[in-house]
């Protein structure tokens, strides 16, 4: 199955972001992708954190959800909408939700980001919990590719990457990591954490990132990539918008897991 990790540099215009996302999804489809993963906050990077609340959508209703459904159906591929803000019962907090739509445009999964990022080095400060409500449910979905092979796809978002136990719980052959890693933390930890999750779980990793300088002044690390179950980077783009394409094969998963059966050797769970 060919997959695509889509990299963006999203701005403050919802319409412009969706237009750019569609352009990149079309490139992914033209390249033969059956699964395309957009980055975290693909639809919107506001001037301040509270701006997320203004565009938060209700379940099953909204421009971004319609966009994802239409794009998946029209392009005939599974689309994972990195994240978008979804309304909660608390008007002061939204869920940071990753939604998956199949090639018929039907929503097949929703994952709400469990781990909320907080960082303060004296110059940069982030606290997602100020406007986001954490999810509490590890989530995966099944995807059958054109060859008839069924894949278990495990979902995560950005800061989740630092919590290995989540990925062990998912027990998937493909792990998704849409993200908006900061330049500071990304340059230090992004690739090593992604490769570790691939190696530990003997699974493919599709990491779609924000990558560049945004209108709000934030700089994200980028380096979207696809990694195989042995930890090898199959394809990568450092900065700027683009589509990272790679072929994944269940035979490779089985080969790695048979040659080094570490998943069978786990004692502490």
Q: Would you name the residues annotated as active-site residues? A: 40, 113, 158
- The secondary structure of 135-176, three-state, reads CCCCCEEEEECCCCCEEEEEECCHHHHHCHHHHHHHCCCEEE
Q: Return the ∠ at Cα 60 (arms to 22 and 75), rounded to 5°.
A: 30
The crossing angle, in degrees rounded to 10, of helices 14-30 and 63-75 is 20
Residue found by looking up tokens 């993200």 in the block:
179
- The answer to whether 208 and 7 are in contact (CB under 8 A) is yes
Helix (H, G, I), strand (E, B) or coil at 233: strand
């Amino acid at each position: 199955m060919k997959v695509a990790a889509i990299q963006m540099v999203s701005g403050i215009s919802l319409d412009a972001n969706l237009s750019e996302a569609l352009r990149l999804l079309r490139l992914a489809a033209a390249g033969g992708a059956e699964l395309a993963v957009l980055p975290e906050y693909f639809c919107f990077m506001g001037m301040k954190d509270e701006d997320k609340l203004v565009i938060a959508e209700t379940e099953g209703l909204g421009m971004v959800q319609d966009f994802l459904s239409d794009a998946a159906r029209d392009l005939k591929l599974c689309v994972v909408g990195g994240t978008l803000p979804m309304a909660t019962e608390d008007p002061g907090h939204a869920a940071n939700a990753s939604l998956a739509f199949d090639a018929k445009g039907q929503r097949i999964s929703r994952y709400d980001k469990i781990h909320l990022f907080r960082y303060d080095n004296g110059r940069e400060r982030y606290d997602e919990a100020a406007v986001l409500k954490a999810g509490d449910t590890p989530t995966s979905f099944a995807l059958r590719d054109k060859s008839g092979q069924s894949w278990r796809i495990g979902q995560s978002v950005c800061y989740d990457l630092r919590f290995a136990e989540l990925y062990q719980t998912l027990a998937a052959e493909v792990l998704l990591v849409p993200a908006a890693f900061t330049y500071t933390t990304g340059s230090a930890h992004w690739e090593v954490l992604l490769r570790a999750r691939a190696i530990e779980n003997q699974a493919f990793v599709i990491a779609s990132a924000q990558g560049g300088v945004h209108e709000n002044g934030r700089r994200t690390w980028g380096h979207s990539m696809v990694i195989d179950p042995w930890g090898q980077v199959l394809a990568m783009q450092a900065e700027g918008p683009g589509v990272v394409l790679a072929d994944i094969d269940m035979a490779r998963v089985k080969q790695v897991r048979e040659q080094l059966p570490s998943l069978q050797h786990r004692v502490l769970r």
